[in-house]
Structures are given as C-alpha cells and as structure tokens.
Copies of this chain bind each other. A is one copy, B any other.
Amino acid sequence: MRIVVTGGGGFLGQMLARALIARGGLASEPGAKTNLAELMLVDQAFPAGRVEDSRIKYASGDVGDATLLERVFAPKTDAVFHLAAVVSAGAEADFGLGYRVNLDAARFTFEACRRQPAPPRLVFTSSVAAFGGDLPAVVDDTTAATPQSSYGAQKVIGEVLVNDYTRKGYLDGRAVRLPTIVVRPGKPNRAASGFMSGILREPLNGEAALCPVPAAAKMWILSPERAVDALIRAIELPAEAWGWNRTLNAPGVTVSVAEALAALVKLAGEETAARVRFERDPAIEKIVLGWPAHFTTGRADRLGFKGDAGIEEIICAHMRTLKR
C-alpha cells in the first residue's frame, strides 16, 4: 500500500506519519492486517527532527502545483490524507491565498485521485468552522453547514467536492469535521482557536500566555492523539459503513476556558495557571465564538469514533509528551 499525506510537514501530518509507521500502514477495515510499502509526505517545508523511516519519502513543494501532485501520486496511490490547509485566521486575512490552498489545491488533489488507476481512499480534514451564525443549542448530524469564515466556507466546499467525487466513483472520500485540536504542540500558528492550546502549553513550558476570549467561552475540542485516531478510523472504515454521506462530525468534548484553567491549576499548580493573562481580541472572538461548542455525534459514535474523556485527560496526555 502506498499512502500520500498532504500537509505532511505540519504537526498533525507528522503525528499521523509516526502513527502510520508504528502500526505498519493501514488496513482495509479497522482491526484487519495493515500494509505499508511507501508513505509519501508532501509539504512546503518540514520540521527539524522530522519522522524518518525507510518507507517514508518527503516531497517539498506547493500542493497547488499540478506537476508536483502528478509526481507524488505516481505510479499508484491507495490512500490519501489531505491535511494541507491555510488555517482560519490566515484564510481570513488573505482571501486569495485561502481559496488557492483550501479550495484549488484540494481540487487538484481530488483530480490527481481521479487520474489514478483505481479510486484511492481519501480523508479530507474539515472543521467545526463549517458551522456558525444562528445555530441550534446542540449541533447534530443533520445540522446544516453555515460557515461564517472563509476557512469554514472553503472546508464546506471541500466536503461537497468529496461527496461528489465519491458519488462519481473518482475517489472513495471521507470528510471529517474535527473539533479544535488541544493541546496542539509546538509554536502558536494562525489558527484563530490556537489560544486554547496556548493557555495550557505555554504555562506548562514556564511561559506566559494571552487568552483573547472571556473565561466563560466554551469550545468543542479533541486531543491530537484522538484526532489522529479519527483520521485513521475514517480511512479504514469500509465504504459501506459510510454510505452516500461522506461528511461526519467527529466526537469531542465541550470545555470552557475557565474549566481548562481549573484543570491546569489541579494538575500543575496555581503558579502555572497564573501565567495566563486575559486580553480580549475582537477578531479572534468573532471567529471562534461563532463556532458551536455543543454537539451530539450519534453517527460518529456508531461508527466507533472516540473523543476524550475530558480536559484533565487531555492535559495529562500533553504532559506525558513533555516528559519523553
């Protein structure tokens, strides 16, 4: 089996690569025998200390470049994780760039799949940013997508394309709407939701952090480990398990900033949590507080996707990675 990961240099791409190497690739259904010949990671840049393995290949370049895609998909690709994206605040700041990467490059990737000898399985990472505006108290599997940011709009368009390409038999796609990933490792990025990781990660690292939203603000979150599990489950589930609807709200847990900070006090002490200072940022607030924080995810639950137990488990998992 040959696997391509776009955005393979990002933190999620690297974690996914590590998981794929550890489990020896992917299976045709959850629990079946895995198989891996080559894992091709595509991105504009790769971090120092990137995952290395004899089965891993790295390709540097722009995923919007059709020649590069042609090359990384040759001669035959069985599974694709399309993670490459400009994040929420980035796509809001640069309208053209957002559409170029989040729409055009996604389409190029789907077209590359269409040219394959057999339709590859593909996972498209969508987001809670698909929702916004006048929402029901609890978002469920039937709630209409109503994005209120360019990033959300681009993700919804990607979902529609995944469904249409799948219906036509050009790929076997699965679009997973991920909650906000917390605790995101590494440096802050331009994701509007990035502060929710920052207010935990930076204090644990002995650094100060700014929280741009009020303590009562709630978010729908998922740990990086569970996010990687979700992407792998999404691609390993057989097509019949998905049926015609290839878009899924992944499970998560509802956590307020206040609850996250209380858990930080409990697990790391008052002095750690005291490193967080509140300084409201209306632009961040507008994007993030428009996202829903309460979901029921019956379909994902039935398909065996799992969220985290709570914020304490999430912080503990992050603290364990720091000790390695």
Residues of A at the B interface (CB closer than 8 Å) are: 95, 133-134, 142-148, 150, 153, 156-157, 160-161, 163-164, 167-168, 170, 244-245
Nearest CB to that of A92 among chain B residues? Answer: B168
A57 to B170, CA, bound (A): 42
A95 to B148, CA, bound (A): 29
Contact check, B163 vs A150: say whether CB atoms are below 8 A apart.
no
Contact check, B133 vs A147: say whether CB atoms are below 8 A apart.
no
Contact check, B145 vs A245: say whether CB atoms are below 8 A apart.
no
A160 to B159, CA, bound (A): 12
Contact check, B150 vs A164: say whether CB atoms are below 8 A apart.
yes
Nearest CB to that of A163 among chain B residues? Answer: B153
Nearest CB to that of A145 among chain B residues? Answer: B144
A147 to B167, CA, bound (A): 10
Contact check, B245 vs A146: say whether CB atoms are below 8 A apart.
yes
Contact check, A244 vs B148: say whether CB atoms are below 8 A apart.
yes
A145 to B145, CA, bound (A): 8
Contact check, B164 vs A160: say whether CB atoms are below 8 A apart.
no
A95 to B153, CA, bound (A): 22
Nearest CB to that of A168 among chain B residues? Answer: B95
CB distance from A298 to the nearest CB of B (A): 14
A95 to B110, CA, bound (A): 13
Contact check, A160 vs B144: say whether CB atoms are below 8 A apart.
no
A145 to B157, CA, bound (A): 12
A161 / chain B contacts, CB cutoff of 8 Å: 153, 157
A170 to B244, CA, bound (A): 34
Other-chain residue from B95, B143, B153 in contact with A144 (beta carbon distance below 8 A): B143
- Known: A95-B170, A142-B144, A147-B160; 17 extra A-B contacts, CB below 8 A, are A95-B168, A133-B244, A134-B245, A143-B144, A145-B145, A145-B160, A146-B245, A147-B163, A147-B164, A148-B167, A148-B244, A150-B164, A153-B164, A156-B160, A157-B157, A157-B161, A160-B160
